[in-house]
């Protein structure tokens, strides 16, 4: 059997059940064959082994069950970096890049004034936020690595192992300090310039209505409580204790949560400035509380 025939088998099997099935079949083939997109197209007439055929068909079954393609290939691109992901961590999404870009801009402004910056990534998961921040801050030649402190915490020991793995692959000489902690319970440092977080924010009852793929991501990284706001309340009531004067909290939110999250922070009475910025799709995406 050649690649073109295997490709057709995959498309026929997935077309009525899986979104973006054409794209996913090609990604699967590229992964199994260790081909680039161009190599796949140029080698459609190439014969493949029975072992390749069997592996491909088994992976098709996983896709039909709702397993995200990223968990099969163990990779997800985020901020133009390739992250290892598995069932232990939430899959980083493009929507979160605006959160990182906002934190980068703020970090550079702080560094320009005081020549150092201290950041905490709360609920780090795969480490995508913290690692991207370290990568792009260190790419700026005027920044001195020793003056950038980045901490990353998560309640999941498995997630932290994935984050540490990603840090070593992407930023070989990484200085990120990973901490096992249930939110604020085990954080050894204070006086942060920036706390950045993409916390769980989906309403508990809503999770069962989401796609099979999303439901196959770790529940602990999705479930924001009955109203989806549980973790914002925790952050609002504790975050200020860990910030320097004029320090800032940056959080991703759901598209319809701007007013509710803003009100939570206003009611705490601990933040002098609360604003929201939109993502590239014009959805409310990041709350900034100073």
123 lies in the same domain as 196 = yes
186 lies in the same domain as 111 = yes
Arithmetic mean of pLDDT, 192-221? 92
23 lies in the same domain as 160 = no
Question: Residue 107 falls within a domain, yes or no?
Answer: yes
Between CA 265 and CA 100, with CA 269 as vertex, the angle to 5 degrees is 35
pLDDT number for residue 107: 94
Query: What are the pLDDT digits (tens) for 264-279?
Result: 999 999 999 999 999 9
pLDDT number for residue 172: 85
pLDDT band for position 143 (50/70/90)?
low
Query: What are the pLDDT digits (tens) for 170-197?
Result: 998 899 999 999 999 988 788 999 999 9
Question: Residue 9 falls within a domain, yes or no?
Answer: yes
Share of the chain above pLDDT 90, in %: 83
22 lies in the same domain as 126 = no
Q: Are 126 and 166 in contact (CB under 8 A)?
A: yes
Is pLDDT of 144 > 70?
Answer: no
Identify the bridge partners of residue 277 per DSSP, sorted by sequence position: 286
Question: Residue 72 falls within a domain, yes or no?
Answer: no
HSE (CB half, 13 Å, CA atoms) of 272? 5
Arithmetic mean of pLDDT, 98-108? 96
197 lies in the same domain as 266 = yes
In the chain, at which residue ranges do the beta strands (DSSP E only) sit?
A: 76-78, 81-83, 117-122, 148-154, 177-180, 192-197, 243-252, 274-278, 284-289
Question: Residue 71 falls within a domain, yes or no?
Answer: no
122 lies in the same domain as 201 = yes
101 lies in the same domain as 245 = yes
List all residues 6 or more positions away from 269 whose beta carbon is below 8 Å from its beta carbon.
none
Is pLDDT of 120 > 90?
Answer: yes
pLDDT number for residue 212: 87
Number of domains in the chain: 2
Q: Which of 65, 97, 112 is the last residue of a domain?
A: 65
Question: Residue 24 falls within a domain, yes or no?
Answer: yes
31 lies in the same domain as 173 = no
| CATH number of the domain within which 235 lies | 3.40.50.150
182 lies in the same domain as 263 = yes
Question: Residue 156 falls within a domain, yes or no?
Answer: yes
12 lies in the same domain as 111 = no
- Matching residue, tokens 């902690």: 181
Question: Domain range spanning residue 27?
Answer: 3-65
* Distance between CA atoms of residues 46 and 44, nearest Å: 6
* Distance between CA atoms of residues 124 and 196, nearest Å: 9
Query: What are the pLDDT digits (tens) for 229-259?
Result: 999 999 999 999 999 999 999 999 999 999 9
53 lies in the same domain as 102 = no
Distance in angstroms between the alpha carbons of the first and the last residue of the chain: 61
Arithmetic mean of pLDDT, 90-104? 96
């Amino acid at each position: 059997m050649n690649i073109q025939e295997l490709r057709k088998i995959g498309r026929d099997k997935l077309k009525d059940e899986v979104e973006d099935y054409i794209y996913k079949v090609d990604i699967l083939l590229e992964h199994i064959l260790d081909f680039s997109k161009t190599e796949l197209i140029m080698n459609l007439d190439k014969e493949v082994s029975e072992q390749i055929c069997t592996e491909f068909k088994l992976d098709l079954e996983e896709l039909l069950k709702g397993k995200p393609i990223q968990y099969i290939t163990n990779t997800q691109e985020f901020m133009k970096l390739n992250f290892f992901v598995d069932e232990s961590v939430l899959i980083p999404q493009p929507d979160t890049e605006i959160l990182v870009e906002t934190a980068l801009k703020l970090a550079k402004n702080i560094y320009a004034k005081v020549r150092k910056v201290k950041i905490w990534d709360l609920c780090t998961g795969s480490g995508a936020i913290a690692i991207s921040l370290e990568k792009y801050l260190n790419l700026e030649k005027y920044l001195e690595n020793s003056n950038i402190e980045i901490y990353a915490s998560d309640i999941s020991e498995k997630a932290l192992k994935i984050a540490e793995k990603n840090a070593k692959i992407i930023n070989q000489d990484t200085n990120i300090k990973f901490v096992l902690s249930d939110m604020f319970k085990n954080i050894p440092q204070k006086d942060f310039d920036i706390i950045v977080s993409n916390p769980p924010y989906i309403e508990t009852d809503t999770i069962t209505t989401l796609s099979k793929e999303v439901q196959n991501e770790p529940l602990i990284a999705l479930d924001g409580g009955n109203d989806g706001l549980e973790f914002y309340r925790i952050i609002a009531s504790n975050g200020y204790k860990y910030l320097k004067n004029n320090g800032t909290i940056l959080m991703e939110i759901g598209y319809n949560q701007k007013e509710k999250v803003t009100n939570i922070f206003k009611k705490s009475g601990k933040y002098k400035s609360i604003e929201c910025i939109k993502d590239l799709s014009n959805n409310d995406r990041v709350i900034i509380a100073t």
